[in-house]
Every structure is written in structure tokens, then in C-alpha cells.
Structure 1
């Protein structure tokens, strides 16, 4: 399973989903799906924008959890 750690990083940075949407220019609905880890696809450009806004790396943002349970149906 791939885990998207937007919620965790927003908490560490004391930032809201709206703040991230404003900083990145990514739709709030998309940020919400990333936050809830329900998104099925993400643009590489969005990953870059989020990493810049949160001052993190891709490895900080996305994690592969071996043997993890899927949160959604694929």
C-alpha cells in the first residue's frame, strides 16, 4: 500500500488544508482527497508543489507500507 502523508505533514507544519491549497494552487477538493488518502491518481507537478510548500522531500510525503491494507477499492 502507498501511504500519502499529507495529514501528518500538515500537522507538523501547523498548516490547514486550505493553507496548502492556497500555497500550491491545487484545488481544495484534491488536497482533501490527499489528506484522506482516497485519491487514485496524482500529478507529478502536484507532488512537487506540495514538497516545496511543506519544505519536504518525496520520501517524506509518500511511503510504501509492505503488506498494508488498502483503504480503498482499486
Structure 2
């Protein structure tokens, strides 16, 4: 499973979804899906804008957590 740390980054920077949308130009719905970890896919442009805003790497924004069902 892929874990998104957007909610943590937003909390550390005291930002709301509206703030992130305004600063990145991303749709509120896109940010909300990532914030709630319910997104099924993410565009590279979205990752790029979020990493630029939070001055982080993609590895700090997302984390891969293996689970028993994904091990083949």
C-alpha cells in the first residue's frame, strides 16, 4: 500500500486544503483525496507541485508499506 503524508505536511505547515489549492493551483478535490488517502492515482505534475510547495521529496510525501496481499 502507498501511504500519503500530505495531512502531516499540511499540519506541520499549518495549512488548510484551501491554502494548498491556492498555492499549487491544484483542484481542492485532488488535495482532499490525497489528504484523506483515498486517491487511486496521482499525476506527476501533482506530485511535483506538492513537493515544491512543501520543499520535500516524493519519498517524504509518499511511503510504500508492503502488506501480505501484495507479496507474490
**TM-score, normalised via structure 2 length:** 0.89
Q: Does 1:47 align with 2:34?
A: no
Which of 1 and 2 has greater Rg? 2
Distance 1:41 1:14, change over 3 A: same
Instruction: Provide the aligned length of Structure 1 versus Structure 2.
Output: 69
- The gaps in structure 2 that reach 5 residues or longer are none
Q: 1:72: which partner in 2?
A: none
**TM-score, normalised via structure 1 length:** 0.87
Any runs of at least 4 consecutive aligned residues in structure 1 with deviations exceeding 2 A, and if so which?
none
Q: Which structure has the highest helix share of the two?
A: 2
Q: 1:7: which partner in 2?
A: 7
Write the mapping of 1:63-74 to structure 2, written as runs, cut at 5 A. 63-67=63-67
> Superposition RMSD on alpha carbons, in Å?
1.5
